[in-house]
A and B are shown apart, each in its own frame.
Chain A
Amino acid sequence: MTPIAMDTGALVRGLYCILPEMVVIGTAILVLLADLLLPEEGKKRLCHLSVAGVAAAILSALWLGPGKIEGFSGMIVHDGMGLFFTLTILAAALLTLMMATGYSEWEGTQKGEFYALILLSTSGMLFMAEGTDLMTVFLGLETLSIPIYCLVGFHRGRMRSLEGAMKYFLLGAFSSGFFLYGIALMYAAAGTTRIPVIASMMRDARLYGNPVFLAGIGLLLVGFAFKVSLVPFHMWTPDAYEGAPTLVTAFMGAAVKAAAFAALLRVVLLTFPAILPAMSGVLWVLAALTMTVGNFSALLQNNMKRMLAYSSIAHAGYILVGLTAGGVAGGQAVLFYVLVYAFMNLGAFGVIMLVAQREDDGYDIDNFAGIGFRYPVLGGLLSLFLVSLAGIPPTAGFVGKFYLFGAAVRSGYVGLAVLGVLNSAVSVYYYLRPVVSMYMAPAPEGIPVPRPPRSAFSFALCASAAAVLLLGVMPASALEFAERSVLSLLM
């Protein structure tokens, strides 16, 4: 690598480019410091501080705008796509932290490190989404993963939580190994880790057919596959999702997935056109397997968290359909879907957090019996999120799938699209099971009394619901933003 010249202008520009990341990290440090100073009963201020920090980060990202800003001699770039994912991730983090206002009180996560870990992980995600160098992507990946390992095991006293964290950590460490080894091989073949440079080398076929390079990109793909839990690299997902504190589960589904797909999309869109014939087959099989295994496993679950864990695997499969299709249409569909998925997934988990209180059987689908009519707002919200996850109009989930499968049909992958819609039909069965339980099953004697949500919690739920409906009925501007973002990357 060329030595980085330390001129002040470049440094300032670099820091300017990572303004949102710096705000998030600064907030994390502030939270840790404040944790030392605040008395026990004032700890809820930590949550407010975190929310304010993330909100400031969103404002700073908007202030940077969609124009392309390169920093640190091209190690990181803030472009349209970076902005789109930054906003998605920060929105997910904001909603998560708003829900934390109530959740931390009930579950005893009212601790400085809880919020600091969420914020640090968020900063890792942002680096990952904006990294244009494989090393930046890797550093982002680690920065996001390590706090998440801790968060999954945050309930130190609970076996499930520890088991999930252990599995996730071991497999995650392996996947990081794959990832890094892949980068090393690619560097050996190409002599650089800059994604755009590698892409341009591939375009004039200097790397095409180099077995070392292909092995490298294969290993890199395995690393990504672990993070977004593609079948057959998904084994950790159900246990980690079930064991983690529910709030962390929601955050993982929404934000970690978005960050990993952001980096994957950058790599795939830039480099794959050159080696598409070889790679599209692999992606096709991965997408088909992931959708099918995810959905059919979800059919068998009785625990809401586990069911949504498998459903998140299935959704990774749907998103991969868009990646397989590639091009502007595919990229745009992926961007839009990642955004939509963040809202519907967080929303669904939010309602579950309010209803399910006992750790052992609180999350059983049967435990939701009778909720629907007794608590109409909660029932209605959960139904809305589940209907959107199933991809039924007029919700955002439908528009998202329409564009994912549309991109597949457009690129000639009609078979994959057919498989995708059939999978959606299968998924309807398990998404409707909680609805059946809430509204149709005979209500038991003691319907669980949901926790009264804090106002920030209610706001987060309503905002998610509004987003799901709004993106379902008026998707035009979000779709155009997604398209412009992809174009900014490809230009």
Chain B
Amino acid sequence: MTGVPLLDQHLLSVLIGLPLVGAAALLFLPREGHRTIRNVTFLFTLAEFLLSLLVVARFESGTAAMQLVESVPWIPRYGIGYIVGVDGISLWLLMLTTFIMPITILSAYSSVQKHVKEFMVFMLILATAMVGVFVATDLFLFYVFWEMVLIPMYFLIGVWGGERRIYAAIKFFLYTFVGSVLMLVAILALYFHHYAVTGTYTTDLVKLYSLTIPVKMQFWLFAAFFLAFAFKVPMFPFHTWLPDAHTEAPTAGSVILAAVLLKMGTYGFLRFAMALFPVAASDFTPLIVTLAVIGILYGALVAMVQKDVKRLVAYSSVAHLGFVMLGLFALNLQGIEGGILQMINHGVSTGALFLVVGIIYERRHTRLISEFGGLSRVLPVFAFCFMVITLSSIGLPGTNGFVGEFLIMLGAFRTHMWHTAVAATGVIFAAVYMLWMFQRVMYGKVTQEENLRLEDMNGREVAYMLPLLLLVFWIGVYPQPFLRRMDASVAAFVTRFEAQKQAALRGSPAGETMLVRYFDSGK
């Protein structure tokens, strides 16, 4: 490798560790110095982002293997290691995380006024955990980071949230925790199965990939992983925690939740549930795709009738994540690449939407659509940003949303024609609820006296909105740099998926029903 070898060897660990160092540094700052605390946090997250650009620079798009791998024995006698790496599947999710962090910190300059120090400490711990989730390629390490995410987020919602914050925080924690504990049992079962077959203990994901798991076992393990990830995504009908968490969380919390935390679920499906248990994943596909389509329509319809802008955006997330799931379970190159790209797009667009909502909430202390109207004349810069983000969320050609949804439908149409046809109507619904909301908030007469006195976006707000807008158009017009770096990994994923599925199905007669395959004890 070229460049600074030492940094290259430990690049991902540095990315994991840097926010923690920042959090430790904050502890030594006086708690009254809000300005210093904010600036120091911002600098740490910015440094994190700049360092992560190095990952893109070092990334080789020609290979599907894990890159920038670092492997250190952790509990060596039991084959548990600290193993991190990136490939085409995790690269952009890692980048999304480091990209969104400085933006949310900037947004929190004005929106968080109490307990600033603790807020920033939790944000930095959260950053470490999120980066860890996306780069961990050891099941044990992944699970540690996966659960570690919960605690700072729980505090962010519960302490800095809205009126029903405690309810929302506990609901968020319990729902996602219940989902993930069963995954822990599944991880253990997989771990001992690997031992039984090969005689060595390991939680190294790459080694586990090469294992052919008996189909009956796949069913149960997939079910456990499914539950953990379905709660996180969240898929219909596991989504009920999301509107509460989103609505009650502070702006920065909502942005992180939407942009990164939900992606942990979809990423988990791709990286773990589907990759490890291909037979079960294929057999579950009709169910999952159906749930995804229900999610798309249900999310859109419920979003349409919301009175609170933030709640509307929260339900739109359910719909968007339905699209991502549809793409992933198309199980072909276009669908999966579209799914990954749409994860990024959703992070950018919905993250930006929450920021937009945060900006007017800070000025008016309400998010009710009926309180607004005619804002476009009062706030021209804001109106422009809001418009672009709205269009990107709808998926207008030229914006990022279009590319992602188009690829997803291209892929899904080949495998699930009718589902895709129904899902396409979701795009129309999205246009309806978003544009209708936009119209009621931004156009028409100014109905409220105080809306006339609102101030337009200030320099800081423009500064954090601008990168998001750029990304909207960049991905919308020229997505090739993003897709090219996924190609090799996704293609390898599809190939391995098919091969592993055939290997596991060897011995099963063609046309075997699921009932016989998984539940016939005579087999």
Contacts and interface: CB of A to CB of B under 8 A. Distances in A.
Interface of A: 373, 376, 387, 392-394, 398, 402, 405-406, 409-410, 414, 417-418, 421-422, 424-425, 428-429, 432, 436, 439-441, 475-476, 479-480, 483
Contacts of B185: 405, 409, 414, 417-418, 421
Given A428-B173, A475-B75, A387 B151 contact: yes
B436 interface: no
B173 A432 contact: yes
Contacts of A406: 188, 191-192
B77 interface: yes
Nearest to B157: A440
Nearest to A436: B166
14 contacts: A392-B150, A393-B143, A394-B144, A398-B147, A405-B185, A409-B188, A409-B192, A417-B185, A418-B182, A421-B181, A421-B185, A425-B181, A429-B174, A439-B155
Nearest to B195: A410
Nearest 3 CB-CB pairings of A with B: A421-B181, A393-B144, A409-B188
B301 interface: no
Contacts of A409: 185, 188-189, 192
Contacts of A405: 184-185, 188
Contact of A479 (B75, B154, B177): B75
B375 to A, nearest CB: 33
B76 interface: yes
A367 to B, nearest CB: 17
B151 A439 contact: no
B165 interface: yes
A341 B147 CA distance: 20
A441 B191 CA distance: 42
Interface of B: 74-78, 115, 118, 140, 143-145, 147-148, 150-151, 154-155, 158-159, 165-166, 169-170, 173-174, 177-178, 181-182, 184-185, 188-189, 191-192
A409 B224 CA distance: 14
A440 B144 contact: no
Contacts of B192: 406, 409-410
A136 to B, nearest CB: 33
A414 B188 CA distance: 10
A447 B147 CA distance: 32
B159 A440 contact: yes
Given A440-B158, A440-B166, A441-B166, A425 B174 contact: yes
B166 A476 contact: no
Contacts of B77: 476, 479-480, 483
A394 B148 contact: yes
Contact of A436 (B115, B170, B177, B184): B170
Contacts of B174: 425, 428-429
Contacts of A417: 185, 188
Contacts of B147: 392-393, 398
B180 to A, nearest CB: 9
A476 B76 contact: yes
A312 to B, nearest CB: 21
A387 B148 CA distance: 11
Contacts of B189: 409, 414
A476 B74 contact: yes
Nearest to B184: A421
Contact of A398 (B144, B154, B155): B144
Contacts of B143: 393
Contacts of B151: 387, 392
Contacts of A475: 75
B73 to A, nearest CB: 8
A299 to B, nearest CB: 12
Contacts of B118: 373, 376
B223 to A, nearest CB: 11
A425 B180 CA distance: 9
B185 to A, nearest CB: 5
A393 B184 contact: no
Contacts of A410: 188, 192
A342 B8 CA distance: 42
Contacts of B150: 392
Nearest to B183: A421
Given A392-B150, A406-B188, A422-B181, 20 more contacts: A373-B118, A398-B144, A402-B140, A405-B184, A406-B192, A409-B188, A410-B192, A422-B178, A424-B181, A425-B181, A428-B177, A432-B170, A436-B166, A439-B158, A439-B159, A440-B158, A440-B159, A476-B74, A479-B77, A479-B78
Interface centre among A376, A405, A409, A480 (most CB of B within 10 A): A409
Contacts of A432: 154, 170, 173
A440 B115 CA distance: 12
A371 B182 CA distance: 34
A440 B159 CA distance: 5
Contacts of B144: 393-394, 398
Contacts of A429: 170, 174
Nearest to B80: A476
A414 to B, nearest CB: 7
A373 B122 CA distance: 14
Nearest to B155: A439
B81 to A, nearest CB: 11
A387 B169 CA distance: 15
Nearest to A406: B188
Contacts of B154: 432
Given A402-B184, A476-B74, A476-B76, A436 B191 contact: no
A405 B155 CA distance: 28
A432 B188 CA distance: 26
Nearest to A408: B188
A247 B165 CA distance: 35
B204 to A, nearest CB: 16
A104 B189 CA distance: 49
Contacts of A376: 118
A402 B80 CA distance: 12
A31 to B, nearest CB: 40
A364 to B, nearest CB: 17
A436 B166 CA distance: 7
A200 to B, nearest CB: 29
A421 B74 contact: no
Contacts of A414: 185, 189
Contacts of B76: 476
Nearest to A476: B75
Contacts of A373: 115, 118
A393 B182 contact: no
Contacts of A393: 143-145, 147-148
A253 B118 CA distance: 32
Nearest to A483: B77
B170 to A, nearest CB: 7
Contacts of A483: 77
A373 B188 CA distance: 38
A479 B182 CA distance: 24
A436 B158 contact: yes
B122 to A, nearest CB: 11
Interface centre among B140, B143, B182, B184 (most CB of A within 10 A): B184
Contacts of A421: 181-182, 184-185
A327 to B, nearest CB: 13
A9 B75 CA distance: 43
A410 B193 CA distance: 9
A441 B161 CA distance: 12
A171 to B, nearest CB: 34
Contacts of B182: 418, 421-422
A488 B366 CA distance: 67
A436 B144 CA distance: 23
Contacts of B181: 421-422, 424-425
Contacts of A392: 147-148, 150-151
A414 B191 CA distance: 13
A321 to B, nearest CB: 12
Contacts of B155: 439
Contacts of B78: 479
Nearest to B141: A393
